[in-house]
Structure formats: structure tokens, C-alpha cells
């Protein structure tokens, strides 16, 4: 059964304290792995798509990496405005590419 | 690029009335659109999947006669909540899958309050 697991469930960091979020996946065929950011009361904001092991993508203080079993979202020198829930998802193998979601990591950056 | 809009962003309606929510992909064609519901501090819950010109596929437990979905074009899908009740109050979010890719982009959401 296809599955996505995120850890930790919540992460509290001081401003400037770098860390990583984990997304492990078990799928029969990878058609991409997506990272989203969601703020309270808003829809998820698309961050990255990764398609193959070894691929890396960066955006400001965020860098996403992918292996054959997991993805990491590295956050470097975070700021309070990076506080949000970060969601990881993979498309299922059905024809509509329905997303299989992780439960998310709630990131809190304290000033 | 890859912007999805929703209208309205919030709506208050009386019990028993119907409400329509629009979801548009502004700068790309969307092969498939999805409708989600989210309660406070909970995960996104998929309600239904729709493809342009086809009937929507509803998830188990979602009443298709209550949540009417129309996907008239490659850039527009609508969700109509019929005979709304207070328990239908929630945050409704749509997403659109960009044609030719597996990538999904989300709208900003619609807050529905039924009084």
C-alpha cells in the first residue's frame, strides 16, 4: 500500500537554527514528490517537485532533496515567517494522480 | 505561473440555501481538479475528483447529491453545496493538476459558514 510518513510532527526552533524535516515514502512507482507549505486559513502553497533520487531544489532558505526512500526539506537560518505546516505528498498510480499525503510537520520559529 | 483562484474567499449563508464555489486555473490548463475540505487543525480531506467534461468521482462518505461538482472547462470547476446545514461549515479548497504533469496547485480556499 502506498504510504507517506512525515517526521517530526512538530518542530520548534530558534531563529537562525537550521534543521531538516523528513518525508519517507513507499510507493509502487514514483511520479514525483511534492513539498507544500500551508499557513493557517490558507490553501497549500506549492514549493518543490522532485522526480528522481539525487535531485535537489532550492528556494530561499529551503532546500529539498530526494533519495529512493525519503525526502528531506532542509531549512537554513530560518526566520519567524518560515513558521507554517510543511506537507509532503506523492501522486498515486491512478489515472488522476490523486495525492497521498503525509500528516505534515508544524514548524515554529521563535524570534 | 501556476496560479489557482477561488471565489468567494468566504461566504455566510442560511441553513437550507445553496452556495456555489468557483475554482479557476488562471495560467494553465487543468486536466483534473480536486475538491478538499479541511476542519481546524486537521488534515486535508479529499472530497471528489473531476475531469473536464466528465462526472465527478466522490470519495466514500461524501454525498454526491449534496456536493454538486461541475467541471465545464479545462480552467473552471465549481462546487455547489446544496441545502446547506451548519455541519457543512468548513474550509473548502480546490486544486488543479497541470495538464501533462503530475503537479497539483491549490487555491487559497473558501471559508463557508452556515447559520
Tens-place pLDDT, residues A75-85: 999 999 999 99
pLDDT of residue A94: 82
Q: Is B62 on the interface with A (CB under 8 A)?
A: no
How far is B57 from B55, CA to CA, in rounded Å? 7
Is A110 a domain residue? no
Report residues of chain B scoring pLDDT below 50.
Answer: none
Cell of A26: 513507499
pLDDT band at A104 (very low <50, low <70, confident <90, very high): very high
Distance from CA of B65 to the nearest CA of A (A): 22
Is residue A22 packed enough to be buried (19+ CB in 10 Å), middle (13-18) or exposed (0-12)? Answer: middle
Q: What is the pLDDT of residues A7-60, one digit of tens each?
A: 999 999 999 999 999 999 998 888 899 999 999 999 999 999 999 999 999 999
Is A61 a domain residue? yes
E strand spans, B4-66: 4-7, 10-13, 19-25, 30-38, 45-51, 57-58
Q: Which residues contact B23 (CB under 8 A, 6 or more apart)?
A: B4, B5, B6, B33, B35, B76, B77, B78, B79, B94, B96, B107
B32, B94, B105 ranked by CB distance to A46: nearest: B105
Read off the DSSP letter of residue A96. Answer: T
Q: Is the pLDDT of residue A96 over 90?
A: no
CATH number of the domain to which A39 belongs: 2.60.40.10
Contact: B104, A49; criterion CB under 8 Å: no
> How many domains is chain A built from?
1
Host domain of residue A46: 3-92
Is A16 a domain residue? yes
Q: What residues of B are in contact with residue A108 (Cβ under 8 Å)?
A: none
A45, A97, A101 ranked by CB distance to B44: nearest: A101
Is A102 a domain residue? no
Is A80 a domain residue? yes
pLDDT of residue B53: 85
B34, B95, B103 ranked by CB distance to A32: nearest: B103
Is A35 a domain residue? yes
- Best probe of the B interface among A42, A43, A88, A95, by most B CBs < 10 A, is A43
Contact: A96, B51; criterion CB under 8 Å: yes
Is A51 a domain residue? yes
Q: How many C-beta atoms surround the C-beta of residue B85 within 10 A?
A: 11
Contact: B34, A98; criterion CB under 8 Å: yes
CA–CA distances in Å: residue A74 to residues A19, A62, A103, B81, B115: 6, 6, 18, 40, 44
Is A97 a domain residue? no
B51, B93, B97 ranked by CB distance to A43: nearest: B93
CA–CA distances in Å: residue B113 to residues A66, A102, B19, B87: 40, 28, 10, 9
Amino acid at each position: 500500500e502506498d504510504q507517506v510518513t512525515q517526521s517530526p510532527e512538530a518542530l520548534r526552533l530558534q531563529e537562525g537554527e537550521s534543521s531538516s524535516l523528513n518525508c519517507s515514502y513507499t510507493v509502487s512507482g514514483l511520479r514525483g514528490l511534492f513539498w507544500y507549505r500551508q499557513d493557517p486559513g490558507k490553501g497549500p502553497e506549492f514549493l518543490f517537485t522532485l522526480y528522481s533520487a539525487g535531485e535537489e531544489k532550492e528556494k530561499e532558505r529551503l532546500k529539498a532533496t530526494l533519495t529512493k526512500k525519503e525526502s528531506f526539506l532542509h531549512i537554513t537560518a530560518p526566520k519567524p515567517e518560515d513558521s507554517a505546516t510543511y506537507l509532503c505528498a506523492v501522486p498515486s498510480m491512478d489515472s488522476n494522480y490523486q495525492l497521498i499525503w503525509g500528516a505534515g510537520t508544524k514548524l515554529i520559529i521563535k524570534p | 505561473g501556476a496560479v489557482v483562484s477561488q471565489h468567494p474567499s468566504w461566504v455566510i449563508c442560511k441553513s437550507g440555501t445553496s452556495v456555489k464555489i468557483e475554482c479557476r486555473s488562471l495560467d494553465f490548463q487543468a486536466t483534473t481538479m480536486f475538491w478538499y475540505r479541511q476542519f481546524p487543525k486537521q488534515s486535508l480531506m479529499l472530497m471528489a475528483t473531476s475531469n473536464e467534461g466528465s462526472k465527478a468521482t466522490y470519495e466514500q462518505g461524501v454525498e454526491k447529491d449534496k456536493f454538486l461538482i461541475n467541471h465545464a472547462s479545462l480552467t473552471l470547476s465549481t462546487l455547489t453545496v446544496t441545502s446547506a446545514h451548519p455541519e457543512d461549515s468548513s474550509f473548502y479548497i480546490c486544486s488543479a493538476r497541470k495538464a501533462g504533469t503530475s503537479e497539483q496547485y491549490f487555491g487559497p480556499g473558501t471559508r463557508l459558514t452556515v447559520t
